[in-house]
Structure 1
């Protein structure tokens, strides 16, 4: 049902809840329309908060005492240069006395330069003599992350490579990469020194003024990185802080440079400003740079250079010559792996909440969606379903296996699906309590699949269930064990996909804090859980006072009462914070010095700007040890990547031949070939609505197109307006899910009537366009193309679009211009390509947009309306939307044809069974419009029998005198709108009853 209740009442509820039960009491917060949460609280040992506090560090880039490696280190000198058919190699010797600044200098390095094919260049610098028994450095093995090599035909194709590499020993070794076709320097370390130590590597490239770089994730940031920013790459369980490192590790960037073309001589001049002139012509060139290195690292983007610093590994660089973003992205994905093809159902709408506390609530949510006629494809459960927060076990009281089986049978019969969360840590049962037995741990322990401490004992951290251990993905038994646990669980719970969380990998204490304490299990995390007394989300929605002035006034008076009540409670805390703030200037920081040949794993001498500070805070410690002796320090960024691989193998075992559907939190280069990603723990704030667009575009660059965010926000309370706008925006993201935290107000779209209406409108468009989106994903899966696209990528010769990230394209044909600010009823947007003759049509009215080149147009956008435009020259295949994707796939087809200024259009459609990895049959349909005719030609044998319902053609100047389909007149089925110039042809099922694409056809209008 829908709940409509005063915000003042909500505030009073939170006030009473917050100041009622004490921690020592046993309390159950029952489900209510307001809080939507259930938390059973009982006395148990709580891990001290200090357990998750690390040493006090200051990042090198902020440390006034930090020494600049460029000023004290000697660099290297190249010798023994040997040419080959694919490039050259050389020996690099330290050019002076070792500096040993942030580690131990490596005396001799090996340089290898390879033109690996027509568009990829490899530059590798690694220790020349690697003895794993003696060396104190770690080189990323190909068994963990595949390493691209020279193509079989590289002797021929390398000659076509647009890069040229030169090197110099003046004053020390440097290298330069030039684009042959333009003479532009794309990467050059000239004027800087190479620093290579066992715990610190630094190399620098010069950059042009106001350069445009994108990527280097994961973080919440605008699309264009800018030239006064440091990008830290270190997987971190942090709730989406702005500009800091979060879950994923993607050491890849796209560099785009614009050139002004001299109309008289054709000469090109590099553009150093995004301001453009309508009298000038421009051309862009893009290239990509990938550092195959999994260590913690940071990239310093400064005014005229980029400095790359890593905590180890090697310099394993790959350059992709483009020359535009689509080519760069495809070339990069050829190296890391093409994204997985998703099951058709995964593009439907997903609903989740941490706070669906039992099966009855799940059923109520499913029923409410049906009651309000809002499509629901998949229902998800957060950790509520688990028995004491343990993986692979259902709570027998709230999610009994028998009840869940009945629930799942019912939704599966409706064509709906279910996805549960799985966390990355495994509960360690209390050895002194036989009733605390936990079979998944026992089986894993017998197989030796858990991480160890340096002394060989189990590494025991703490996560949701208490003290936990962590899978060691370097063990040959770990994936078989994971597959078995998933399969055993599936016998009881017939899930349809898996959601992997906490995979950075997260631990709520520093070090192996449970080693001597496991007999206390189960223990409480070192912080209050959402929904527990004292940790209730009673904040009002952002900008609440702007839209609820009367209630805001009431709450203001209530707040004064609350402030008085909390004064005594917070007095000591505030005093401590004041003291800490006043003594900031005298803070004592840990600064470590390197010991020759010995790595300090927990506190490396160089301190990256990690959001958590100490590398072991809220994470497994860097000195945790894998079965092969590798330290977590060297592979921390790969845990999420590896658990998703293990989960992919598990679902292949459970569903043989079917594409696994997986959404994961921590990712690395190449994760997209197994899983999609959601944007993590965002907040119900307008900024995060905006930030979702550059987040999604970055993951398009990273080869993970199956991306979405927690729609309406995860933490904090959403409100009607924010959720209204967000439900519409996310309808055009590949992964479409609403999810929020326990203890906040409910935010399912049916909670507010206007949100329900806006959601149904946006979903009707999305579900109609599912064939278009599915076709885009097939192209991404087979060629590496992008699904969501930045305007700058699709219109690469317009410098003014370099930083545009408030609009985006879905594929090449749909322009989405969402409202991203509270209280707005209009939105400003540009219509790119106008100067080159592009036409844009309003999705809703079919009218061609009247806009000038470069004009920022104010577009009407009342609440409930999201502006959407179709690019001229497009043919969009659609199906009549239904309640589920399965039902939609059985509905009639339609075509939306948007003619270009030349009267042409093209499009395509890919059809298969929607789930199989290897297809028995497929169907590919190509559409072409030209010279007053539309042609449809199909290849393939997939038996689609749905008829063609209607065709709309936009952009006609006159009403046709006759309309024929394969020569037969169908004029009686057509109507023409003289105002919009749109021709509508309906009722075509009769003439396409055997299937719209069973035979090729031609539609003519004359």
Structure 2
């Protein structure tokens, strides 16, 4: 029995068993109807036990024969071979494929591809879905390249195995020796040995420390779930970075590299116990181009990859540094990140619960009254007419008030971003007033997913029973683009926020089939604020500084829990569904191998795997890219709305390559200190995934924040590329002006952020053009220090700014390491502008009272700045500045990229490079973009002695405060407004101080 037919009957029989007190819109007879609540049981799946936890599970390595290679043929680019089962089929989790084809390609000097797929696939064979290259591009061989440092080898003893080795060092990067290849129609397994205490990063999306553990299973399956720790989440990124440390000048691998003499939680031991002296690192990357649900088992000495279908399409990126791996992965495999519009780097304010235009206007005005910069106001699903995409609630967000609201907003150079969900309401056919043109147009063009029998697949999301766009249908994307264009005529939004795109559904199967006449219906759970569903959760440590409020909240929470409790104290043994594979048949609803999906059954809180696209492809094969495809469609839509301008999109579900269209936020986190910490490794992981425009719901989405946590978090997020505060309906408001301490802390951090907008924007230019990262782990910037391998409580913004946040309550200081000191690195305190006095490899205690976030500038850097304004537009009109932080040798370098901040293909640009040494700063200017802003100050840190100050050889007069020198701090400030009145970057110039 298929899922959709079962739940068709289930929902009909339960139709009026669960009613709320609400009313639906009047039907054609003028009578208001009670709103049907979908039973909670509608979103309950089968009881499944993940294979990795199942004591009855069969280990495929024990029962399967593996393959033997034959007919190997080498050519100028690689080799091909035939793989044939080496013994009787095991059919352990599907049907064994008897014959496979192997293709190995030396695609580039730094890239090796290994493809293993069924030898015979035709249009009648539905057992395997091989990804079309026009859907997810496949890296292509270069026409010519130099010799590769990667070497492929293979053998047949005892069965087929292969290895990838770095020739220059002999290091084995990947080897399946002594492991069997298992290849079935619903289960593929291959494994490689790994060195002891390996350092792997990536394999997302999940909330986890930056460095993955060596006793951990990483599930990759897009899931709508509220940010659990260590489980699969919204996105699918089957890529990892492997970093290995060696003694300098040798091939001796450093064991326990991430932990030499190190204390708890990334803290370093005493001087000499660890560090970078005598070490070097080499990194490589591995990408599996596969869309199916999968698991990656990380065990102490191996990595095992298991997928629910597809093919083995592996790509190895030689590196040998993290910087090179990341660039190679993006440039050749997934695409470079989009260049964001300049306004996207301002501060964004949102919440679920802004009830109308007046409330929105009040928030905007209050931000201004408290002098807290606001770039963009966001709205959650409150604005919609009954939660339907591309609509406005006629009572609260009246169309008649749109013009006045947007005229003022845009006149003030501010922006508006609405949420858009991924499901489309299907109107009640018995209620003429329930007509919904967005559905009608999509339905007539064939833009929605179907059931296996060709009927429309109908799930449920916020508005009730819904249908889902089919991005594989020819009409899917054009229909979506048209809806965006038409809606912009009514609501002049500036960007789009895509949610629920895993894709999420609140019931298992096509539960709306036969039940659409009940629409609109209520979700199968209470919404925040309903039935006394009030939030009493607060951050850890809240009771210490807020004792009275905490006691009240605790009592209320206990009372609510008692009133709502329906727990059954009896316990019974759980009967698990275990699927026996049928030869030649795929069971997409209950695959014989059960991955450790956070929702269990693959169809729970998701569109069912047997939902069918117009080209016959089942959702089972492409589930992980629904979010990726809706981002593409939205990108095309915004290009149509704003021809020639960069789309601004933040999406929830992503796949490898989504960064070329959109940014990402970390989803439904909570107002807890540990979620603030986890935001750092989340962001760093998405740096590896090629999605640098990342941020989280600052101060937390679920639960109530408090002044201390929100102060610390507002300051931390100020150094993330995407900076937004967002919280849930019925939680306490958390706009930064709600507490004076938070307002003050926010202003302090925002002043730094807006000052550094030119630096941040330049970082994104490099990410867009070269694949470099924006937020960086300290181990990436200092690759010769193995003791930094798992540090994720501090980070760098670009190469030059070190951010060390407080991540614990009731703290007035933070302990951290200043990397690179043993190799001559120097650091300057952002606030005092003085050189940091610290020892190499030793934790340093840094004062950090509430309202202060420690920030340090790396010696050797030139940072372009601009006087901050209230908005990014105002900031762009202000004077430029430069911070020149000299290293121990008196040198520094940096650059600046300038364009109009909005064009997809800016015709005119300006690139400025800065080079300091021997007591002078040389500025070189290229490009035709015209910028007339003056240069305010050049601030030089670490000036040991001062001679005459000259600009282009002409002495700068000390009178009038144009030159200030603090001998004790060794800080020189030179004002250049007068000499740059025609524009700071009109041409090159030199400033000297020796």
Choose the corresponding residue for 2:255, options 271, 288, 293. Answer: 271
**Within-5 A mapping of 1:698-737:** 698-737=685-724
> How far 1:997 sits from its partner (Å)?
0.9
Matching residue within 389, 392, 396 for 1:391: 389
**Counterpart check, 1:254 vs 2:241:** yes
Query: Does the aligned pair in 2 maintain the 1:24–1:42 contact within 8 Å?
Result: no
Q: In the alignment, which of 965, 975, 991 is matched to residue 1003 of structure 1? A: 991
Match of 1:964 in 2: 950
| Local SS of the residue matching 2:802 | strand
Aligned match of 2:424 in 398, 423, 426? Answer: 426
State the match for 2:974 in structure 1: 985
- Which string of whole-angstrom CA distances, capped at 9 and with x for unpartnered residues, describes residues 449-500 of structure 1? 1000011100000000000000000110111100111011000111000000
1:850-865 to 2 correspondences below 5 Å: 850-865=837-852
Contact 1:261–1:269 (8 Å) recurs in 2: no
Deviation at 1:543, TM superposition (A): 2.1
Residue in 2 that maps onto 1:339:
337
Work out the CA distance in 1 between the residues paired with 2:299 and 2:371.
Answer: 52
Q: Does residue 1:688 correspond to 2:675, yes or no?
A: yes
TM-score by length of 1: 0.93
Structure 1 residues 567 and 992: CA distance shift in structure 2, 3 A: closer
Which residue does 1:314 correspond to in 2?
A: 311
Residue 130 (structure 2) aligned to one of 112, 133, 139: 139
Q: Pick from 446, 454, 476 the counterpart of residue 448 of structure 1.
A: 446
Partner residue of 2:87? 96
CA distance in 2, matches of 1:225, 1:579: 38
Q: For the Cα contact (< 8 Å) 1:962–1:971, is it kept in 2? A: no
Q: 1:459 pairs with 451, 454, 457, which one?
A: 457
Check conservation: 2:532, 2:560, Cα contact below 8 A: no
Maintained 8 Å contact 2:665/2:694: yes
> Which residue, out of 815, 828, 832, partners 1:828?
815
Quick one: distance in 1 between partners of 2:539 and 2:135?
44
Rounded Cα–Cα distance in structure 2 between residues aligned with 1:934 and 1:27:
71
CA offsets per residue over residues 393-440 of structure 1, 9 Å max, x none? 111111112212210111100000000010000000001111100000
Q: Distance in 1 between matches of 2:505 and 2:253?
A: 52
CA shift at 1:134, angstroms?
A: 2.7
Distance 1:737 1:565, change over 3 A: closer
TM-score, reference length from structure 2: 0.94
In structure 2, C-alpha distance between the alignment counterparts of 1:534 and 1:43, rounded to whole Å:
20
Answer yes or no: is the 8 Å Cα contact 1:25–1:42 preserved in 2. no
Question: Would you say 1:778 and 2:765 are equivalent positions?
Answer: yes
The C-alpha deviation readout for 1:134-173, integer Å capped at 9, x for no partner, is 34111111121011121122xx43x2x1110100100000
Per-residue deviation, residues 606-630 of structure 1 (Å, max 9, x unmatched): 0000000000000000000000100
The answer as to 2:222 corresponding to 1:235 is yes
2:315 counterpart of 1:327:
no
**Secondary structure class of the residue paired with 2:990:** strand
Q: Distance in 2 between matches of 1:42 and 1:659?
A: 45
Question: How far apart, CA to CA, are the structure 1 residues paired with 2:620 and 2:446?
Answer: 21
Pairing 1:66-85 to 2, within 5 Å after superposition: 66-85=57-76
The 3 A distance-change label for structure 1 pair 892 and 466 is same
1:919 matched residue in structure 2: 906
Shift of 1:280: 4.5
SS in 1 for 2:405: helix
Is residue 348–residue 378 contact of structure 1 (8 Å, CA) maintained in 2? yes
| Deviations, residues 15-53 of structure 1 (Å, cap 9, x unaligned) | xxxxxxx9854699xxxxxxxxxxxx9941000000000
Query: Are positions 1:931 and 2:922 aligned together?
Result: no
Deviation at 1:914? 0.2
Matches within 5 A, 1:204-603: 204-261=191-248, 266=250, 268-274=252-258, 275=260, 277=274, 280-334=277-331, 335-553=333-551, 558-559=555-556, 563=558, 567=562, 570=565, 573-574=566-567, 576=568, 578-580=569-571, 583=572, 586-603=573-590
- Does the Cα contact within 8 Å between 1:528 and 1:534 map onto a contact in 2? no
Unmatched segments (≥5 aa) in structure 2: 1-17, 25-31, 261-272
Counterpart for residue 12 of structure 1: none
Task: Kindly indicate whether the alpha-carbon contact (under 8 Å) linking 2:276 and 2:785 is maintained by their aligned counterparts in 1.
Answer: no
The residue that corresponds to 2:868 in the other structure is 881
Q: Give CA-to-partner distance per residue, 1:271-306, whole Å, 9 cap, x none.
A: 343316469410100000000000000000000000
- CA distance in structure 1 between the partners assigned to 2:704 and 2:710 by the alignment: 10
In the other structure, the counterpart of 1:195 is: 182
- Give the CA RMSD over aligned residues: 1.5
CA contact (8 A) 1:257 1:271 kept: no
CA–CA distance in structure 2, aligned partners of residues 186 and 552 of structure 1: 53
Give 1:750-761 correspondences, 5 Å limit. 750-761=737-748
> 1:985 Cα shift?
1.5
1:23–1:533 contact (8 Å) kept in structure 2: no
Structure 1 pair 863/454, CA: closer, same or farther in 2 (3 Å)?
Answer: same
Counterpart-to-counterpart distance in 2, 1:567 and 1:136: 51
Whole-Å Cα distance in 1 between the matches of residues 349 and 947 of structure 2? 49
Within the candidate set 956, 975, 984, 2:964 is matched to: 975
The answer on whether the counterparts of 1:640 and 1:667 sit within 8 Å (CA) in structure 2 is: yes
Q: Does the residue aligned with 1:151 lie in a helix, a strand or coil?
A: coil
Task: Decide whether aligned partners of structure 1 residues 494 and 193 sit closer, same or farther in structure 2, where only a CA change above 3 A counts.
Answer: same
How many residues of Structure 1 are paired with residues of Structure 2 in the alignment? 953
**Preserved contact between residue 177 and residue 187 of structure 1 (Cα < 8 Å):** yes
2:112 maps to 121
- Deviation of the 1:531 alpha carbon: 1.7
Secondary structure at the aligned position of 2:36 is classed as coil
Q: 1:545 offset after TM fit, Å?
A: 0.9
In structure 2, distance between residues paired with 1:280 and 1:860: 28
Runs of 4+ in 1 over 6 A off after TM superposition: none
Contact 2:20 2:37 in 1 (8 A): no
1:552 to 1:278, Cα distance in 2 relative to 1, 3 A: closer
What is the CA–CA distance in structure 2 between the aligned matches of 1:24 and 1:318, rounded to whole Å?
53
Distance, in Å, in 2 between the alignment partners of 1:789 and 1:705 is: 10
- Conserved? CA contact 2:676–2:807, under 8 Å: yes
CA contact (8 A) 2:160 2:180 kept: yes
Aligned to 2:7: none
Moved more, 78-87 or 541-550: 541-550
- Cα displacement (A) at 1:919: 1.4
Deviations 1:825-875 (A, max 9, x none): 100111000000000000000111111111111100000000000000000
